[in-house]
Structure 1
Amino acid sequence: MMESKDEDYWNISANKSFNFDEDDVAVLDVPCFNRRSLFGEDTVSEVNFSNVQSELLLNFIISDENLAAILEDQSRNVVVIPKGVTLEEEVKLLRKKVQETSFAPSVGPIIARMVLGKPCSLEIFRSMYDKETLLDEAISSGNGNAILKVVLFLEKTLKKKLFYRLLQTRQEAVNHYINYMATRLKVTECTDLLVFLGRHHEASLLQFSIFVGNIPNIEFKRQRLKKIYNDYFSQPGANTFYAQLVANYLNLLDFQQSQQLTNDQSVLEILFYICSRYKWGDSSVQSYENPFKLAEAHQVSQSQLEWVALNERAKRQAWLDFEHIFEKKAWLNIKQKSFNMHIPIDKTILRLFSLHAPDPVLISFLNKVEDPARRLALARNVKSKKGIIDALVGLKDRTELENYQNTLAAGTEERFYAENALKTFNNKWKSDAIKLIK
C-alpha cells in the first residue's frame, strides 16, 4: 500500500520536477513578471523569509552599463545552429564556440571597443600574461578611459602586490589611476601606491593638497596637516622647500585662528584683510599683521602685493596711503624716497579711474608715464582735464593746447590751468627765440 502511494506521488504531473528519460523534455511554465525583477513572483524563500512583500530590483545590484555588457556576452555565447547542417558541421560550430569562450580573445578589438565607448566585459582575461597584454594595449591606444577601465579591472582581480608591480613600469597608467583615486579622495590608496613606487615626496604633497582643498574647517584641517608635517616633512631627508611651504601654511592657519576667521582663506584674501587693518607707514610691526611680512613669508610677488594693496586702499578711499605702497626709501639717503612700481602703470591708472579716484591721484600716476603721447591717450581715457593739458605741454603742441582750452568752460579751474600753461608755453617760446637771436 505504501509503495502504491509513493508511485502515485511521483507519477502525478503536478509533483514531477525531473524526468530521467532522455526522450522526454521537461517544459517549465515560467510566469510573466517585470524584467527588472530578480526573483519574479516568488514570495517564500528557502530560508523562510515569508514577509518579503516587494521584489528586489536588478538595478540595485548591477549598473545598467555592466548589465548590458553581461547580456551582450551571453548573447554571444548562444550557439545558433542553422537548419539542415550535418552532424560534422554542427560539431565544428560547437568546437569553435568553446574555443572562443575558453580562451582570451585578441586584446586589439577589445581596446578598440573601449575607445569607441562600447560596453565590453574583461572577465575572460584571467592569466597574468593576458592582463599585462591588455594593459599595454590600452596604454598604446593613448585613450585615458580605456587605460583607466583596464587599471580598475586589474585592481579588482589582482592581489595588491601584483597589481602594484604591474603598474611599476607603466607611468601613464599610474598617473590615470592616481588622478582617479585622488578625485574620489581615496588618500590611503594613493599614498600606498606612491610609497611602493618610491615617490615619497609626491605621496606627502598629494595628502597635503587633498586636505588643503577639501576640508573647510580650519581646526580639523590644521590637525590633519600637522600630522602630515610630522610624518613626512619633518623627517630626515625631506625636501626643505616643501617642508617650508607646509610650515608657512600651518602658520597661516594659526594666524587665521588668532583673527577668529571662521572660513579658510587664500594668502591673497588674507593679505587683503591685513591691508584693511594695517597702520600704513608703521614698519615696526614684524608679524603677519604687516602685509609686507606676510608677502615675504608666503612668496607673494611685489606686483601681487601692490595690486591687492592698491585695490583695498582705493575701495576705502585711503589715497594718502599710496605713498607707503609705491614710494621706497633710497639706500644712500633714508630721507629721500623714490617711486617704485611693479605693476603696469597703464593698468593701474585705468583701475584707479574705475574705483573713482580723484583727479589729483590720477595726475600723480599720469606724471609717472614718460612718453607724452602715451600719457595724453591715458589722460583722455580717464577724462583727466589737467592730465590732458600737462601731456599737451609735454608734446609742445601749442595749437592743440589752444584748441583744447577753448573747449573748457570760462571761469573753471581747468580753464585757468590751461591759460597758465599757455602763458608758460609762450614765455618759454620767447625765451628760446631770444637765445636764438643772441
Structure 2
Amino acid sequence: MSFSGREDDYWSKSRIKKSTGKFNMFDDNISVDNASAFANKILSCRDYADDDFSESLESYLDHEIPSSSSFPGEESRKNEQANLISRIGTPAKPTTSTPTPAANQRGTSYRQPSSTPATPGDEVQPGHPSFHHARTSSFGHGRSKSDTGTTGGNFSVYNARPDPGDTETNRRGSQQEGSSDYSSDTTASIEDILQRSTPKVTSTAAMNKLEAEVQFLRRSLKASERERWSRPLVTDTVKRIRDGETHTGLSMYRTLEDKLEIMGKAIESYDGNVITTVVLFLRQTLSDAVFQEVLKSRPVAVNHYISYLRMKGNYPELISFLKTMKMNEEAAMVTYKQAVSNSDLAVKFDSLKQCLREFRSHCPNMSSETWLVERQLALLEWQNAVDSMDSKLAQDTRNSIYQEFPRPPSLVMSPVISSVYHSCLYHYDNQNKQTEFASPLNFREKHALTEKQFLWPALAARAKVKAWADIEDLLTSKGTMFTGKKLKSVVSFDKVAELLFKFGAPEEEIKKYLQAMNDSEKCLQLSQKLRCYHTFVETCIYLKDRRELENFARKFPSNSEPHRIAADALSASTIKWK
C-alpha cells in the first residue's frame, strides 16, 4: 500500500471527527487570522493523550507567540508548549526509519513503526514528552492533511506506548541504520538547527563583482563574433603576437598590401618573435618568387629567417635561401660545415669534393678557403692510405715497432700534427719506394708544413723511441764552408731539454741542449731541476760564482756524487773565482 493510501485509511479510522474534544489541525480552514485561537484550543486539549492528538500537534504555525501570553495550566508546561508551537516545523508522518539512541536517552520511548498507520487507540503515557524533532521545516500555516506525507527532510513525532520486546531491536537498528546527519540533528537544539538551515546570503559586493564579470564575458564574446570574419587592426595583431596569444588573426590578411603592411609594423616593433612569426606567415601564404622579392628589401627579416632556419637545422632550405639572396659565401660555409660533420668517411669525402666545387664556381674571393679544403681532402686521402698500409704491416711480427708501440685504432680524421707524429714514429727511416709516400719528409712537402709545425711532433716521436741521434740531426744545422755544424732550432732548447728528460734521456744528451741556451741563469735553474749536476757545476765555473757553488754543495751529503763534484771544483787552484 502506498503512503497516500495508508494516510487516507488513517484519517478514515481517526476518532477526531467523532470527538468533540479534539480539533483537526490539518483542516484547510486554519489560516493566519485564526492561528491564535487555534493555539489556545490546542493547549486546552493537552489532556487528550492519544495518537490522533500527537500526530495533529505537528504545527502549521511559524509566527512567534509572545512570551506574555497566558494559558491555563502549569507555568513550565505553558512555556514549553508555547515554544514548541511557535518554533516547530511542518510535521511528517511516521516513517520506517529507526529512532536514534539520542532520543532514547532523553526519556522518550518508541516502538518500531509498522507498515500501517497507528490508530487513535494508542494513547500517550502521562509524563512523557510528546514531541521529538528530527529536522526543522519552513512550511507555513494552512496546510491540509494531504501535505503531511513529506519524508526525508522534516522531523517525525512518535508518541507511542513503549514495547518491551522491541526496545533492543530499535536500539540495534538505530546504531546500524542511523546516519551521522540524523544523529547530529537529534542531539542539537532547535536554535542550532534553525541557524544551520538558514541559507547564506551573498554580499552585495560579491554579487556586483559576479555581474561585472558576466558583462565582461558577454562583451568579449560579442567582440569575438564581430572580429571573426573581419580583418583586425595591424597594431592589434602585432600586440597579440608580442603577448603570445594563440589566435592572432594573421589569416585574415589576404591581400599582398595587407601582408606588406603587417611586415613593416613587425619590423618597426623591433621584436624578434614578431618578425619571425610574420616572416613564416608570408612564407606559407606567398609563392617563392614573391616571398624572395619581399625579403630582398628587408635585411632585418632576412637575418631573422636565416637564424630561424639555423635553429631548426633545416640546412637544405637555408643553403637554397642564401643562394637566392646572393649570399654565396655564407652558403658555401654552411655547405662546408655540413660536409665536415659527417662521420662516415666516404660521405665526408664526397661532400668535401662538392663543397670544393661550390667554392671554385661561386666564391672566387675565397681562394684561401678553397686551398684549405684542398689540403683537407689530400690529408684524408693520405690518412686512409697509411691506415690501410699500417693494418697490414702490424700483422707482420718482424716489424717490432708495432708490437712495442701499438698504433691507434684509426688515423683517419685525425689532425695534421697527429699525422706528422704518426709518420715520424712508424715511418721515419722508410726507404721503400712503395711506401715512400708515408715518410715524414714526403708528408711535410705535400702539405707545406712550416718547420715549427713539423719539428715539435717529430722530436716527440723520436724521443719516445729514444732515438737521440735523430733528435740531434733534426736540431743541427748543416753549416757552411766557414762555419761548422751547430745546434739551431726554432723550438727553444729548454723545451727540448725538458722533453728529453721526460722520456729518460741521459745527462750527456740533455747537457748539449742546456749548454746551447743563451741564458746562463736559466741554465743553472733548469740543470738543478733536470738533475744535471755536472752541467750546473760547469756553469758555475763558467760564471765564476763560488758562492752559488758552495750553496749547492751544502744541499747534498758529503759522500754523495753532487757534493764530491762541487768540492773538487771548489778546491781547484786553477779556477779564479769572483
Distance 1:131 1:92, change over 3 A: closer
Match of 2:516 in 1: 368
1:183-332 equivalence runs, <5 A? 186-212=314-340, 214-233=341-360, 237=364, 239-260=366-387, 263-279=412-428, 289-295=438-444, 297-298=446-447, 300-330=449-479, 332=480
Match of 1:377 in 2: 525
Equivalent residue number for residue 57 of structure 1: none
Please give the secondary structure, in 1, of the residue aligned with 2:477.
strand
1:193 offset after TM fit, Å?
2.0
Listed as ranges, the gaps of 5+ residues in structure 2 are 1-209, 389-409
Q: Is the 8 A contact 1:276 1:312 kept in 2?
A: yes
Distance 1:120 1:235, change over 3 A: closer
**Pair 1:123–1:94, CA change in 2 (3 A):** closer
Q: What residue is the counterpart of 2:574 in the other structure?
A: 427
- Give the partner amino acid of 1:307: W
Q: Which has the larger radius of gyration?
A: 2
CA distance in 2, matches of 1:253, 1:405: 57
The structural deviation recorded for 1:345 is 4.7
Following superposition, the deviation at residue 398 of structure 1 comes to 0.7
Look up the match of 2:259.
128
Instruction: Give the SS at the match of 1:329.
Output: coil
Match of 1:207, as an amino acid? Answer: T
Query: Unpaired segments of 5 or more residues in structure 1?
Result: 1-79, 433-438
**8 Å CA contact retained: 2:235, 2:265:** no
Once the two structures are superposed, residues 179-230 of structure 1 have per-residue CA deviations (whole angstroms, 9 ceiling, x without a partner) of 6645765442222122222232332333123211x11222222223223334
> Which amino acid is 2:420 matched to?
L
Q: Is the 8 A contact 1:392 1:401 kept in 2?
A: yes
Asked if structure 2 preserves the Cα contact closer than 8 Å seen for 1:398 and 1:422, the reply is: yes
In structure 2, distance between residues paired with 1:298 and 1:81: 84
* TM alignment of 1:172-183, pairs within 5 A: 174=302, 177-178=305-306, 181=309
Query: What letter matches 1:429 in structure 2?
Result: K
C-alpha separation in 2, matches of 1:197 and 1:91: 44
Contact kept in structure 1, 2:339 and 2:352, CA below 8 Å: yes
**Alignment: residue pair count:** 339
CA contact (8 A) 1:286 1:293 kept: no
How many Å apart are 1:404 and its aligned residue?
Answer: 1.4
Structure possessing the higher relative contact order (Cα contacts under 8 Å, 6 or more residues apart): 2
The normalised TM-score by structure 2 is 0.48
Rounded Cα–Cα distance in structure 1 between residues aligned with 2:482 and 2:427: 22
Structure 1 pair 98–235 and aligned structure 2 pair: CA distance change class (3 A): closer
Q: What letter corresponds to residue 228 of structure 1 in structure 2? A: C
Question: Given the superposition, is the C-alpha separation of residues 171 and 429 from structure 1 closer, same or farther in structure 2, using an over 3 Å criterion?
Answer: farther
Letter in 2 for 1:308: P
Distance change >3 Å, CA 227–CA 362, structure 1 → 2: same
Amino acid in structure 2 at the alignment position of 1:225: L
Q: Residues 412 and 172 of structure 1: is their aligned pair in 2 closer, same or farther, counting only changes over 3 Å? A: farther
Structure 2 CA distance for partners of 1:400 and 1:260, relative to 1, 3 Å: closer
The alignment-based identity, stated in percent, is 22
Residue pair 1:349, 1:365 contacting (<8 A) in 2 also: yes
Does structure 1 residue 339 correspond to structure 2 residue 487? yes
Greater percentage in helix: 1
2:328, 2:363 within 8 Å by CA — same for their partners in 1? no
1:190 counterpart letter in structure 2: L
CA-CA distance at 1:429 after TM superposition: 1.0
User: Aligned AA for 2:537?
Assistant: I
Relative to structure 1, is the Cα distance of residues 157 and 84 closer, same or farther in structure 2, using a 3 angstrom cutoff? closer
TM-score for both structures, normalised by structure 1: 0.60
